[in-house]
Structure 1
Amino acid sequence: MHRLDALNATRPRSADPVVLQAADWLVKLHAGEMDEAGHRALHAWRAQAPEHERAWQAADELARTFGRVPTGLGVPTLESARRLRRRVLLRSTVLLATGGPAAWLAWRTWGVELAAEYRTAVGERRGFVLADGTRLLLDTGSAADVVFDGRERLVLLRAGRILVETGHAAGLPARPFFVQTAQGRVRALGTRFTVRGGDEHTRVAVFEHAVEIAPRATDATRVVVRAGQEVDFTRDAAGTPRAIAAGADAWSQGALVADRQRLEDFLAELSRYRSGVLHCAPEVANLRISGVFQVADTDQVLATLAQTLPVQVRTRTRYWVTVGARAPG
């Protein structure tokens, strides 16, 4: 699940309209959208009723507690982007005001991703060389922190997917290398592998040597995954290792590989590399697609789909695209 989906999932079904209004004002204020007239309007709204002032104070206190609404999200590009940004922040604030412990956790998780030491934007891939010579490649929309001490080398995967090629720099002590996700730990056994984190499970694919999977549950069985295998694991257990899917590491070269893949699943993966909504209409969801596609230009990928499948790409805005059945004739 995407980080914004996680926020939506914990949102209460019915929020107090006054709380929603307070959140709306808070977003405008921290996004830099308030001129002098706007400040006067906010003051008038707060003075309109005691519950307005209480809602404002609660929302403002929460924003200050969690380090304020991220200012980086306050820079608009297009009007649709401004509306999207504003809606996301509003949802976050409403969650904090009305959503209970799950909402607090969602906000804290989002903030951790934004503050991660290593991170990538949507559509971006970045490589890093760590102090021990390990090579770390982050996929689109990914975030990670690195903690090396005298006992171990640890990569904390906060979001997204990484490719790891472990190193052992001369002169440094030998220490085990781990990647940790919400579901558990992956121990490298001299290897090249990918880790993709999620809300419910983590997926690991091994391309050289092996890794050991240790789910978070204390009574869970550890599983060794060898080169040419991949596995999913939850907090409670690891699945049975299976053969790696075709093109499992193609993303590291900027490509997606599809082998008779459902169109809906392919578009869900492609959507990770572009901002906004990429929707697949139900009537074309089960069409099959094969090929190698470069994710650097997702618009070109969509154009290719329209040429090779009986589909039509409908672009409402740059941030809202639907792939549906081609009109007859």
Structure 2
Amino acid sequence: MTAPLLTPELESAVDWMVLLSSGSVAAADRVGFERWRQSDPRHAEAWETVNAAVKNSFDALGQGGQRRAAGAVLQAPPARRRALRKMLALALAAGGLAALADRQTPLRTLTADLRTGTAERRVYTLPDGSELTLNARSAVDLDFSLGARRVLLRSGAVYVRVASDASRPFVVASADGEVQALGTVFGVAREGGASVASVIEHSVEVRADGQRRILHAGEGVRFGAGGLGQPDALLGDAAAWQSGMLVVHDEPLGAVVDALRPYRRGVIRITPAAARLRVLGAFPLDDTDKTLESLRQTLPIDVSSLGGWLVGIDLRADGAKKR
């Protein structure tokens, strides 16, 4: 099997790993390695990646003789070290392929009853005739019986238009609580360590940690292990994603980036300082490049892109000084 192509940084990191583990390393080699690792942040990141690949590969072998034998390969003669180099390259590439696959379709949700991939919103008709819209990178399980209609939100967000059925309550449940329909249209989203319910038409009952509250159209509430927050009209816009928009009311930029990630197949990285900036506005979810450019024009940030797959967001130098 031919070893897959890696970035130059990863190629160099693999070479250094083999050399430093060979058992015959000169002092000049160690100095050269430190000079290489510290000369560029990409080198340090590549070194950490290779270290993680080696650790994960050897950990999978357990604590017995197999693992000791694998560790000994690192100190093997040059011909066998070349084989190790190929093995590391394959392991790194496999990890990269898995990461790329997950950016397209979340691997942890493959067993869900209904799910969406990156940048995909999808409308489903449920067995009772209700209409359920899944946000990008979302997943639900269904539990419909003679006495109840339950939708378990595993990740992401749902927007539900409920079909009338007085004999069977309609409930959207998450790890944070439950939202029962008392009318027709509402949304539920998982955000960090909590969930948000937002009511578009009529009303719902929200239940969490032994507390319950009725919400009416235009209201929203955050709920979780600590119970229910206060009703907030601003949270009523939490389901604007259903129409392809992100509506932000004085939220940190980090939260805005979190909302954009399900709509981008690449990776967005943001520094802690930039993540604390406050944002107000409405932005299109289906054109994240346009949204990022709009944010760049209105906030003191630099937005850099590497082939569209890696976006970095940081405070501008002049913006950092002003703050």
TM-score (norm 2): 0.64
Change (3 A) 1:238 1:54: farther
Q: How does 1:224-263 map to 2 (within 5 A)?
A: 224-235=214-225, 237-245=227-235, 247-263=237-253
Unaligned 5+ runs, structure 2:
1-50, 71-91, 319-323
Contact 1:205-1:244 within 8 A present in 2 as well: no
Q: Which amino acid aligns with 2:301?
A: V
Deviations 1:160-198 (A, max 9, x none): 100011013xxx773111111112221111231111125
Correspondence for 1:210:
203
Identical aligned residues as a percent: 34
In structure 1, how many angstroms separate the alpha carbons of the residues matched to 2:169 and 2:182?
8
Change (3 A) 1:22 1:327: same
Q: How does 1:72-87 map to 2 (within 5 A)?
A: 83-86=95-98
The alignment partner of 1:304 has SS state of helix
In structure 2, how many angstroms separate the alpha carbons of the residues matched to 1:268 and 1:240?
23
The alignment partner of 1:141 has SS state of coil
Correspondence for 2:118:
122
Q: Which amino acid aligns with 2:186?
A: F
Aligned length in residues = 243
Equivalent residue in structure 2 for 1:319, among 294, 306, 309? 309
Q: Which amino acid aligns with 1:195?
A: V
Correspondence for 2:171:
178
Change (3 A) 1:265 1:16: closer
Correspondence for 1:289:
279
In structure 2, how many angstroms separate the alpha carbons of the residues matched to 1:198 and 1:280?
18
Correspondence for 1:187:
180
TM superposition shift of 1:85: 4.3
Correspondence for 2:140:
144
Equivalent residue in structure 2 for 1:160, among 152, 156, 173? 156
Correspondence for 2:296:
306
Deviations 1:51-107 (A, max 9, x none): 42999xxxxxxxxxxxxxxxxxxxxxxxx9964444799xxxxxxxxxxxxxxxxxx
Contact 1:191-1:206 within 8 A present in 2 as well: no
Q: Does 1:50 align with 2:50?
A: no
- Which stretch has the larger CA shift, 154-163 or 282-291? 282-291
The alignment partner of 1:158 has SS state of strand
Contact 1:246-1:257 within 8 A present in 2 as well: no
In structure 2, how many angstroms separate the alpha carbons of the residues matched to 1:20 and 1:230?
43
Instruction: Give the alignment's Cα RMSD to 1 decimal.
Output: 3.6
Equivalent residue in structure 2 for 1:273, among 259, 263, 279? 263
Correspondence for 2:7:
none
Unaligned 5+ runs, structure 1:
1-14, 26-45, 56-79, 90-108
Contact 1:18-1:52 within 8 A present in 2 as well: no
Correspondence for 1:76:
none
The alignment partner of 2:200 has SS state of strand
Correspondence for 1:21:
57
- Which stretch has the larger CA shift, 314-323 or 206-215? 314-323
Q: Which amino acid aligns with 1:305?
A: L
The alignment partner of 1:249 has SS state of helix
The alignment partner of 2:255 has SS state of helix
In structure 1, how many angstroms separate the alpha carbons of the residues matched to 2:194 and 2:116?
21
- Which stretch has the larger CA shift, 238-247 or 204-213? 238-247
The alignment partner of 1:197 has SS state of strand
